[in-house]
Amino acid sequence: MRTILSVILLTFLTLPIFAQDVRPVVGEEVTGTIVGDEINRYLIEAGDDFLVRGHVNQLSVDVVVTVFNSDGEQLAQFDGPALGPEEFQFAAEKAGQYRIEVSGFEGAEGDYVFHLFMLEAEVSDPEGRVAQLMARFDSETSPGVGISIWRDREIVFSDTWGMASLTYGAPFEMDTPTNIGSTSKQFTAFAIMLLVEEGKLTLEDDVRTYIPELPDFGQTITVRNLLTHTTGYREFLNMLILTGRRLDEGDFIDRSELIEIVQRQPALQNTPGDEFNYNNTAFGLAAVLVERLSGQDFPDFMQEHLFAPLGMNHTQVRRSPNAIIPGRSAGYGPDGTGGYIELRDLGGAIGAGGIYSTLGDLQKWVENMANPTLGSPDTFDQMTTSFVLNNGEETGYGFGLFLDKQNGLPRIHHGGADAAHRSQLVYYPSLNAGITLQSNYAGFNSNQAFAIAGFFFEELNPENAPDAEPKGDFDPSTYNPADFDEFVGDYSLNEAPAFILTFSREDSTFYTQATGQQKIELYPTSDSTFALTVVEASVTFQRNADGVVDRLVLNQNGLHPATRLGMEREGDEASSQEEGWEPNLSDFTGRYFSEEAEAFYTVIIKAESLVLQHRRLNDLELTSGEEDKFTSGNGPVEFERDRNGQVIAFYLSNGRTRDVRFARMVE
Q: What is the pLDDT of residues 454-491, one digit of tens each?
A: 999 999 987 676 654 444 567 777 888 888 999 998 88
Query: Where on the phi/psi map is residue 284: left (φ > 0), alpha (ψ -120 to 50), or beta?
Result: alpha
Digit-coded pLDDT (tens) for 60-106:
999 999 999 988 888 888 887 778 888 898 889 899 999 999 999 87
Q: Is residue 565 within 8 Å of 623, Cβ to Cβ?
A: no
Q: Is residue 250 within 8 Å of 272, Cβ to Cβ?
A: no
Q: Which amino acid is at 375?
A: G
What is the Cα–Cα distance from 234 to 212, expressed in whole angstroms? 18
Report how far apart the first and last C-alpha atoms of the chain are (Å, whole number).
Answer: 57
Q: Which amino acid is at 634?
A: N
Q: Is residue 437 within 8 Å of 146, Cβ to Cβ?
A: yes
pLDDT above 60: residue 1: no
Sheet containing strand 74-78, edge to edge, reads 17-22, 38-46, 96-104, 63-68, 74-78
pLDDT value for 436: 97
pLDDT value for 495: 57
Q: Which domains does the chain have, with CATH numbers?
A: 15-122 (2.60.120.380), 178-464 (3.40.710.10), 476-565 (2.40.128.50), 570-664 (2.40.128.50)
Eight-class DSSP state of 143:
B
What is the Cα–Cα distance from 106 to 136, expressed in whole angstroms? 29
- As a whole number, the mean pLDDT across the chain is 88
- CA 333 vs CA 131, 214, 346, 441: distances in Å: 22, 36, 14, 6
What is the Cα–Cα distance from 245 to 351, expressed in whole angstroms? 20
pLDDT value for 577: 37
Task: Give the rounded percent of residues in the chain with a pLDDT score beyond 70.
Answer: 90
Q: Is residue 637 within 8 Å of 660, Cβ to Cβ?
A: no
Digit-coded pLDDT (tens) for 145-179:
999 999 999 999 999 999 999 999 999 999 999 99
Reported as type and span, the H/E element at residue 301 is helix 298-302
478 CB-near residues (< 8 Å, 6+ apart): none
What is the Cα–Cα distance from 177 to 174, expressed in whole angstroms? 9
What is the Cα–Cα distance from 30 to 42, expressed in whole angstroms? 10
82 three-state secondary structure: coil
Sheet containing strand 433-439, edge to edge, reads 154-161, 145-151, 433-439, 422-428, 409-417, 402-406
DSSP 427-490: EETTTTEEEEEEESBTT--TTHHHHHHHHH-GGGSGGGPPPPPP-TT--GGG--GGGGGGG-EE
Digit-coded pLDDT (tens) for 2-50:
333 333 233 333 345 556 689 999 999 999 999 988 899 999 999 999 9
What angle, rounded to 10 degrees, do the helices at 126-133 and 448-456 form?
Answer: 160
Q: Phi and psi dihedrals of 275, rounded to 5?
A: -145, 140
Task: Kindly indicate the confidence band of residue 632, based on its pLDDT and cuts at 50, 70 and 90.
Answer: confident
> Could you tell me which of 410, 399, 473, 420 has the C-alpha nearest to residue 184?
399
- For residues 127-137, average pLDDT: 94
